[in-house]
Amino acid sequence: MEAQPVDPATLGMLLYRAHRLARAKSNEAARPAGIELQHAGVLSAVRTGGVRSQRELGAALGVDKSTLVRIVDDLERRNLVRRQRSRHDRRAYEIVLTEDGERRLDEANGLFADAMSGLLKVFDDEERHRLHELLSRFVAQD
């Protein structure tokens, strides 16, 4: 029996709902660390060392300038990052991860992983690998 075609709009809605579920569960799980996924994305990008300025961060994360400034301001208030003058361009500021930022990002990443493991229990190992493969191919279009 041949599989019925999948309605692209329905599939898009399922992807949206999956994103919302994963984000909500991850944010809820990481509440003790005081970090949400949006914070973790910025902290992780800074940790890699490949991006330093707010402009580079925004481009790397696909986040508009005003949203990124709000997130970095919030992280700075919490002493998870600090802004410092760039050694290469005195007009620009670099975003630097603090020790507390490192520690709390590590804590949050563990909590995020636990939350996702719980959500992914509906799949066996083979299905998880296949889902990873499919989603990797899907986002590689970007």
The answer on pLDDT for 90 being more than 80 is no
Q: Pick the residue with more confidence: 28 or 2?
A: 28
Treating both helix axes as pointing N-terminal to C-terminal, what angle do 54-61 and 37-48 enclose, rounded to 10 degrees?
120
| pLDDT score recorded for residue 130 | 97
Domain boundaries, the chain: 28-139
DSSP collapsed to 3 states, 46-89? HHHCCCCEHHHHHHHHCCCHHHHHHHHHHHHHCCCEEEEECCCC
Instruction: For 24-53, write each residue's pLDDT tens digit.
Output: 999 999 999 999 999 999 999 999 887 777
How far apart are the C-alpha atoms of 34 and 17, rounded to whole Å? 24
Using pLDDT thresholds of 50, 70 and 90, give the confidence band for residue 109. very high
CATH 1.10.1840.10 fits 28-139, yes or no: no
Q: Output the pTM of the full model.
A: 0.83
* Mean of per-residue pLDDT scores for the chain: 92
Element (H, E) at 97: strand 93-97
